[in-house]
């Protein structure tokens, strides 16, 4: 039982140990690699002096504000396009022309118009978050049981009631999946903007460590970003289970 | 009231003004004629059953009456007004209760939806929900979710939600088609007692000929491709109906034979 649970961890643990031994025995001197023990020490120090925590706060702030703004816009457009076919067809070409633009390609424009700092980063994150939210919300709204829409007509719900009481609750489990996806994208884009140019947060931290030839600190940042992303996903999956256990169950039955 | 209006009303009363009327109603969907030149009048308080082979347009006729479809030609009127969209006094009971109920709302929540649609203040809702649940035989199930209820209970719940609209007319689309025989008979009697007591007008679509004769004041048989009226039978069986006595009544058996012969003929 315990062995079975330990199995998936065995291989990475062995690899880390082997790397540690090799680094020690060969007296590794590198700008890009550091023994795991050194990375742990560097991470401990960065947590100890709060520098990595401050950077995390900055990155998450930009990522979440961007996620809220972009996700909110994507949600509204997705619901509107999902409900109204004519509107969807009217906007189709426009959307499909803008959507393929990589969000990071907006960086030069955003930098000129907004300068360094949170605002520029938030705008780029928001742009990246609009699309998954829009596309998946639109699909979720379209796949609502048509009988429910008929019920809402037969009961004479007003358009606002129809959206609030039928469309959103029926699509919510799938909208939350879109939100989870967007949250991951928000973090990736925020760190990317910071690595590319914006002097704040975890991305700037990793660049600073690189330029100081601190491979241990650079890799400590890398590990930490991985931990943050993993924790965020675990948190959102737990929230999803808690919020939509029943609705997801009902959705599976039909 | 003007003299003319009073005269009109008197004339209408003599004729027995229909509550729901199909006047030369035709419906085409995607180039196909589903219903052609349908003429049908349903009087207030009448219980009309529509039967026919599958694909004959029974459900489509019901949807026209509900205002969920608009006729391509002719008209469907309710109380003399064209039925171009659903009305609050006309409630629809769908066959697939599992899809028509909101799975994320409890039994009480599902009934509440109809009350919210009618903008009933929230403090009045709970009392009315309890009364409706008692009325359809679901007291004590307020906090259950539809997936926790049997098919019969779910259909009762859907009926309760329709009654929450305080409808004068119930349109029922094969409401008991998916239920077992015993549950079905129980619900037939409950629908009869609920609608007879309040003089509710009912259009009831079914493929079960016995059910149609048992429930109805009148049975309409539709012919398929395109849907049109093939037979119209007045059911003069005594009320209240009784599952044993009514079904053994010689008149019941005679009507049953007549309807079976009609349906058999349409299948060739």
Give the pLDDT confidence of A136-177 residue by residue, as tens digits: 999 999 999 999 999 999 999 999 999 999 999 999 999 999
Determine the distance in angstroms separating the CA of B115 from the nearest CA of chain A, rounded to an integer.
9
Q: Which of A140, A155, A160, A167 to mutate to test the interface with B (most CBs of B within 10 A)?
A: A155
Contact list, A144 vs chain B (CB under 8 Å): none
pTM of the model: 0.81
Flag whether pLDDT at A1 surpasses 90: no
From the list A165, A172, A254, which residue is nearest B99 (CB)?
A254
**Nearest-CA residue of chain A relative to B67?**
A154
Contact present, B128 and B120 (Cβ < 8 Å): yes
Q: Which residues are CB-neighbours of B17 under 8 A, at least 6 positions away?
A: B43, B44, B80
Determine the distance in angstroms separating the CA of B114 from the nearest CA of chain A, rounded to an integer.
6
> Based on C-alpha coordinates, what's the Rg of chain A?
23
pLDDT of residue B11: 47
pLDDT of residue A249: 41
Give me the residues paired with residue B50 across strands: B205, B220
Flag whether pLDDT at A251 surpasses 50: no
Give me the residues paired with residue B91 across strands: B170
For the segment A43-67, the average pLDDT, to the nearest whole number, is 95
pLDDT of residue B127: 94
Helix H or strand E segment including A56: helix A51-83
The one-digit pLDDT tens for each residue of chain B (268 residues) are 455 555 555 544 545 689 999 999 999 988 888 999 999 999 999 999 999 888 888 999 999 999 999 999 999 999 989 998 999 999 999 999 999 999 999 999 999 999 999 999 999 999 999 999 999 999 999 999 999 999 999 999 999 999 999 999 999 999 998 889 889 999 999 999 999 988 999 999 999 999 999 999 999 999 988 888 989 999 999 989 999 999 999 999 999 999 999 988 887 6
Contact A251 B113 (CB under 8 A): no
Compute CA distances B150 → A149, A222, B98, B174, B180, whole Å. 23, 54, 10, 17, 11
**Nearest-CA residue of chain A relative to B170?**
A154
Report domain extents, chain A: 38-252
B114 touches chain A (CB under 8 A): yes
Contact present, B138 and B157 (Cβ < 8 Å): yes
Mean pLDDT across chain A, nearest whole number?
Answer: 91
From the list B116, B118, B147, which residue is nearest A250 (CB)?
B147
pLDDT of residue B268: 63
Determine the distance in angstroms separating the CA of A138 from the nearest CA of chain B, rounded to an integer.
20
What does the block give as tokens for B81?
């007004």
Report domain extents, chain B: 2-89+166-266, 102-165
pLDDT of residue A244: 79
What is the rounded CA–CA span in Å between residue A87 and residue A27? 65
**Nearest-CA residue of chain B relative to A150?**
B68
What is the rounded CA–CA span in Å between residue B126 and residue B129? 5
Helix segments in A162-254, DSSP class H: 168-196, 201-211, 215-253
Q: How confident is the model at residue A27 (pLDDT cuts 50, 70, 90)?
A: confident
Termini Cα distance of chain B: 55
Interface of B with A in 208-227 (CB under 8 A): none
pLDDT of residue B204: 97
Contact A246 B68 (CB under 8 A): no
Contact B117 A157 (CB under 8 A): yes
What kind of fold does domain B2-89+166-266 have according to CATH? Rossmann fold (3.40.50)
* CATH class name, domain A38-252: mainly alpha
A150 touches chain B (CB under 8 A): yes
Flag whether pLDDT at A38 surpasses 60: yes
Flag whether pLDDT at A133 surpasses 90: yes
Contact present, B86 and A156 (Cβ < 8 Å): yes
Contact B113 A249 (CB under 8 A): no
ipTM of the complex: 0.84
**Nearest-CA residue of chain A relative to B158?**
A151
């Amino acid at each position: 039982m315990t062995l079975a649970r330990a199995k998936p961890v065995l291989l990475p643990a062995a690899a880390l140990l082997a790397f540690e031994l090799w680094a020690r025995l060969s007296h590794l001197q590198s700008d890009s690699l550091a023994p795991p023990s050194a990375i742990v020490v560097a991470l401990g120090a960065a947590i100890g002096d709060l520098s990595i925590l401050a950077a995390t706060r900055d990155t998450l702030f930009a990522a979440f504000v961007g996620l809220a703004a972009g996700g909110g816009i994507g949600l509204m457009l997705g619901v509107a396009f999902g409900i109204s076919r004519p509107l969807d067809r009217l906007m189709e070409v426009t959307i499909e022309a803008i959507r393929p633009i990589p969000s990071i390609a907006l960086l030069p424009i955003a930098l000129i118009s907004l300068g360094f700092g949170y605002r520029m980063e938030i705008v780029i994150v928001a742009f990246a978050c609009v699309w998954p939210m829009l596309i998946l919300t639109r699909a979720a709204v379209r796949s609502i049981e048509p009988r429910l829409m008929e019920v809402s007509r037969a009961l004479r719900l007003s358009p606002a009631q129809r959206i609030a009481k039928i469309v959103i609750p029926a699509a919510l489990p799938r909208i939350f999946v879109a939100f989870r996806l967007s949250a991951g994208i928000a973090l990736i884009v925020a760190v990317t903007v910071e690595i590319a140019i914006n002097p704040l947060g975890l991305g700037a931290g990793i660049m600073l460590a690189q330029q100081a030839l601190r491979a241990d600190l650079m890799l400590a940042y890398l590990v930490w970003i991985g931990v943050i992303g993993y924790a965020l996903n675990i948190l959102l999956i737990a929230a999803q289970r808690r919020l939509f256990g029943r609705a997801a169950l009902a959705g599976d039955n039909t | 009231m003007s003299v003319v209006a009073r005269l009109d009303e008197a004339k209408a009363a003599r004729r027995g003004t229909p509550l729901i009327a199909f006047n030369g109603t035709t419906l085409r969907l995607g180039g196909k004629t589903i219903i052609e030149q349908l003429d049908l009048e349903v009087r207030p308080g009448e219980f009309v059953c529509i039967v026919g082979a599958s694909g004959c347009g029974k459900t489509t006729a019901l949807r026209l009456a509900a205002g969920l479809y608009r006729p391509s030609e002719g008209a469907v009127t309710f109380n003399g007004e064209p039925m171009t969209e659903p009305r609050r006094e006309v409630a629809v009971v769908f066959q697939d209760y599992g899809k028509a109920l909101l799975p994320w709302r409890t039994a009480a929540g599902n009934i509440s939806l109809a009350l919210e649609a009618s903008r009933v203040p929230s403090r009045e809702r709970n009392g009315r929900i309890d009364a409706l649940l008692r009325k359809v035989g679901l007291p004590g199930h307020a906090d259950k979710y539809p997936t926790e209820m049997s098919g019969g209970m779910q259909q009762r719940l859907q009926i309760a939600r329709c009654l929450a609209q305080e409808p004068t007319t119930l349109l029922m689309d094969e409401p008991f088609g998916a239920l077992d025989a015993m549950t079905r008979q129980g619900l037939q009697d409950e629908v009869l007692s609920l609608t007879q007591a309040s003089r509710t007008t009912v259009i009831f679509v079914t493929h079960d000929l016995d059910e149609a004769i048992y429930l109805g004041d009148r049975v309409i048989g539709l012919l398929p491709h395109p849907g049109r009226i093939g037979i119209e039978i007045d059911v003069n069986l005594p009320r209240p109906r009784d599952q044993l006595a009514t079904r053994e009544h010689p008149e019941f058996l005679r009507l049953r034979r007549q309807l079976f012969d009609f349906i058999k003929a349409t299948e060739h």
